[in-house]
């Protein structure tokens, strides 16, 4: 009957299909193994697994689960089943399908499952007037019924910054036929790699080409984790992830529960991205910094730039554009000051500050996996190098009245955890010291590092007498300067063992660190205001309860982690993405306060690209 017929339409999604570690096919990440087919048969209540045709099933998610309460470690799969393929291949399965009932979180029937492509194919479909839909985070459609319009005049658009947000905004605009110039103060990855080498080996910090500035933005010499909190399965995230695969990322990122690229994969990916943009006619200007906006009567008319070579002669050049996408990241503090000088609205935003903790990776492997730790094989085996995520909320009852110090109602959490990685210098000025973490794809280093950060608000900025829109930036700077002084200069990082940090004493000796430019024992417990230090201390104790051994003399705290997310937001219109205080300016990505991480920044840039393309009449349809 028609009810049964419906069951053969669309896709059935089967969740929580667990395969023991020793039966996983290893490198063949996408293969439907015999063991997985058995699990699928169980979910379908189908008696003979071998009769099920493998081509009807696709793995859409695969995560490693080694929680201690499990009898044995497992890979847990989510699998999509194309019921029609079963119908054509194996009549005996029909009965089982028609008995299949949806069960939340175990079996779901998705009648209208769209297979989102990468961005380029979505836009190409649109140009051919084929219907395309990209769904946003909340499942609502952000783009549908598109029709490409051949316009006589191409809009001239400047995209400032080649981080994930700038790259994806450029990609959408260029695919729609806009005349895009991508302006980047830093260097292309080849030259940037040499500049970073000079920093790590010879202590030469290029102010415009470093861990924060240059092609690919802050996300290039990074861990390249592609996890996001904005809805892993949304069409927007999938469109970005599929585009990364188009540019050379392994397909595995589409399926892996914790997708990760690593610097060695990001660099060639960015080269391919650049080549694609150039083929679309995008002009890319590296080593070119936007210093100012050209504004007339509340409208942006262009930008003033200086090129690295010109800067020595301090000459600058005016360039005219119909619109400017500002995708500068949150280390471009000079840009915030410039915007403020034009009376743009900038709103201080809460963020988090703290320290980066580093442990031997073997210790984290054994905390997470116990005996299984020996199978990690430095990223070569089936068992992934162990990570962790810890969080602690310090509530009011616990602390109000005791110290009355403003410790209560704060969260402390681990952030940007890099298994098998290294601590790196993310300062953009030699008198300021801040750190972050990066890794290579195999995550084979001996160390595991993560930020441990505490939430801070306007109250904290005001307590140190910082007021106004840039209060949060000044707050960051204060601790970055203190950390530089504590380290004694020359990019030496101040460190303290977790045990000594808890006892408020200088470490007499410190374990080795992955940080290449040297560490120096310092009183990190004196770096932040008391409530932040106490929140870190209190939370460390709680993390140690969760992961016994987390506090140890081998756990080394590095100062300082301040650039977790943007300290300001640049208000913009929800639909058009245009700044509410300056026409023609489109603030996007992390620096504008609308993203936190590679994927969310890319998605924000992509949405802004669509909004602008629509505004300039490059297509019509619903956004």
Give the binding site for ligand FAD (CB under 6 A). Answer: 160-166, 183-186, 211-214, 217-219, 222-225, 289-290, 327-329, 332, 335, 416, 424, 426, 436-438, 589-591, 595-599, 601
Pick between residue 136 and residue 597 the one whose CB is nearest to ligand FAD.
597
Q: To 10 degrees, what angle do helices 164-175 and 119-127 make? A: 20
CB of 228 to ligand FAD, least distance (A): 7
Rounded Cα distance between 366 and 360, Å, is 10
Rounded Cα distance between 74 and 39, Å, is 12
Pick between residue 19 and residue 226 the one whose CB is nearest to ligand FAD.
226
CA distances (Å), origin 24, targets 21, 63, 184, 379: 5, 12, 44, 16
Distance of CA 417 to the CA centre of its chain: 12
CB of 600 to ligand FAD, least distance (A): 7
CA distances (Å), origin 264, targets 107, 228, 362, 439, 610: 38, 21, 23, 9, 30
End-to-end CA, the chain: 38
DSSP 314: T
Contacts of 333 (CB under 8 A, 6+ apart): 473, 477
Minimal CA–CA distance to 487: which of 530, 444, 434? 434
What number of CA atoms fall less than 13 Å from residue 560's CA on the CB side? 30
CB of 596 to ligand FAD, least distance (A): 6
DSSP 46: -
CB of 611 to ligand FAD, least distance (A): 16
Pick between residue 389 and residue 545 the one whose CB is nearest to ligand FAD.
389
Minimal CA–CA distance to 450: which of 374, 540, 568? 540
CB of 436 to ligand FAD, least distance (A): 3
CB of 21 to ligand FAD, least distance (A): 26
Q: Coil, helix or strand for 570?
A: coil
Distance of CA 111 to the CA centre of its chain: 31
Pick between residue 119 and residue 595 the one whose CB is nearest to ligand FAD.
595
CB of 91 to ligand FAD, least distance (A): 47
CB of 214 to ligand FAD, least distance (A): 6
Per this entry, what is the length of the chain?
A: 623
Pick between residue 206 and residue 534 the one whose CB is nearest to ligand FAD.
206
Q: In the block, which residue shows the tokens 């490693």?
A: 64
Pick between residue 183 and residue 373 the one whose CB is nearest to ligand FAD.
183
CB of 402 to ligand FAD, least distance (A): 36
Pick between residue 74 and residue 225 the one whose CB is nearest to ligand FAD.
225
CB of 208 to ligand FAD, least distance (A): 7
Pick between residue 93 and residue 243 the one whose CB is nearest to ligand FAD.
243
Q: Are the CB atoms for 262 and 224 separated by under 8 Å?
A: yes
* Region of residue 235 (phi > 0: left; psi between -120 and 50: alpha; otherwise: beta): alpha
Pick between residue 97 and residue 230 the one whose CB is nearest to ligand FAD.
230
Pick between residue 216 and residue 406 the one whose CB is nearest to ligand FAD.
216
Q: Coil, helix or strand for 94?
A: helix
CB of 293 to ligand FAD, least distance (A): 10
CA distances (Å), origin 77, targets 31, 45, 55, 322, 443: 11, 17, 16, 48, 23
Q: The tokens of 104 are what? A: 């939340």
Rounded Cα distance between 445 and 385, Å, is 10
Residues forming beta bridges with residue 451, ordered by sequence position: 356, 415
Pick between residue 186 and residue 348 the one whose CB is nearest to ligand FAD.
186
């Amino acid at each position: 009957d028609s009810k049964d017929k419906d069951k053969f339409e669309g896709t059935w999604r089967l969740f929580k299909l667990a395969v023991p570690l020793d039966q996983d096919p290893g490198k063949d990440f996408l293969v439907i193994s015999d063991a997985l087919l058995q699990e699928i048969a169980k979910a379908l209540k189908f008696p003979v697994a071998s009769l099920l045709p493998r081509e009807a099933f696709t793995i859409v998610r695969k995560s490693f689960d080694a929680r201690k309460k499990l009898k044995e470690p497992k890979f847990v799969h989510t699998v999509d089943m194309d019921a029609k393929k079963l119908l054509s291949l194996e009549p005996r399965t029909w009965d089982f399908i028609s008995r299949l009932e949806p069960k939340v979180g175990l079996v779901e029937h998705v009648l209208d499952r769209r297979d989102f492509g990468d961005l380029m194919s979505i836009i190409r479909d649109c140009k051919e007037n084929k219907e395309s839909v990209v769904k946003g985070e909340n499942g609502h459609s952000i783009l549908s019924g598109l029709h490409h319009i051949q316009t006589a005049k191409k809009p001239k658009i400047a995209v400032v910054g080649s981080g994930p947000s700038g790259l994806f905004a450029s990609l959408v605009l260029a695919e729609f036929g806009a005349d895009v110039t991508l302006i980047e103060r830093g260097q292309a990855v080849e030259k940037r790699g040499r500049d970073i080498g000079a920093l790590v080996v010879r202590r030469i910090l290029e102010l415009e080409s470093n861990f924060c500035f240059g092609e690919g933005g802050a996300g290039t010499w990074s861990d390249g984790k592609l996890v996001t909190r904005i809805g892993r399965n949304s069409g927007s995230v999938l469109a970005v992830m599929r585009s990364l695969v188009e540019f050379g990322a392994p397909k595995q990122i589409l399926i892996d529960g914790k997708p990760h690229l690593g610097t060695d994969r990001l660099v060639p990916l960015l080269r391919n991205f650049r080549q694609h943009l150039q083929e679309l006619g995008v002009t890319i200007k590296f080593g070119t910094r936007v210093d100012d906006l050209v504004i007339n009567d509340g409208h942006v008319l262009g930008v003033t730039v200086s090129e690295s070579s010109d800067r020595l002669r301090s000459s600058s050049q005016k360039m005219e554009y119909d619109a400017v996408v500002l995708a500068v990241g949150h280390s471009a503090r000079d840009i915030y000051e410039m915007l403020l000088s034009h009376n743009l609205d900038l709103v201080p935003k809460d963020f988090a500050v703290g320290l980066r903790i580093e442990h031997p990776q073997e210790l984290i492997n054994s905390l997470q996996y116990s005996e299984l730790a020996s199978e990690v094989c430095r990223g070569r085996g089936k068992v992934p190098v162990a990570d962790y995520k810890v969080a602690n909320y310090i509530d009011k009852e616990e602390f109000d009245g005791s110290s009355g110090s403003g410790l209560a109602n704060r969260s402390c959490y681990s952030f940007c955890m890099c298994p098998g990685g290294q601590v790196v210098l993310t300062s953009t000025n030699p008198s300021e010291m801040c750190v972050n973490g990066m890794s290579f794809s195999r995550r084979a280093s001996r160390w595991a590092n993560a930020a441990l950060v505490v939430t801070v608000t306007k109250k904290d900025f005001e307590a140190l007498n910082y007021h106004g829109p840039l209060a949060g930036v000044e707050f960051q700077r204060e601790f970055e300067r203190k950390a530089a002084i504590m380290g004694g200069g020359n990019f030496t990082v101040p460190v303290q063992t977790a045990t000594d940090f808890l006892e408020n004493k200088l470490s007499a000796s410190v374990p080795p660190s992955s940080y290449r430019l040297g560490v120096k024992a310092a009183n990190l417990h004196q770096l932040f205001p008391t409530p932040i230090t106490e929140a870190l201390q209190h939370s460390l104790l709680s993390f140690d309860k969760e992961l016994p051994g987390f506090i140890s003399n081998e756990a080394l705290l590095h100062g300082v982690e301040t650039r977790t997310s943007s300290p300001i937001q640049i208000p913009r219109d929800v639909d058009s993405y245009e700044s509410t205080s300056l026409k023609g300016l489109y603030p996007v990505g992390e620096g504008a306060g609308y993203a936190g991480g590679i994927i969310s920044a890319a998605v924000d840039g992509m949405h802004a690209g669509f909004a602008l393309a629509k505004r300039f009449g490059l297509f019509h349809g619903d956004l």
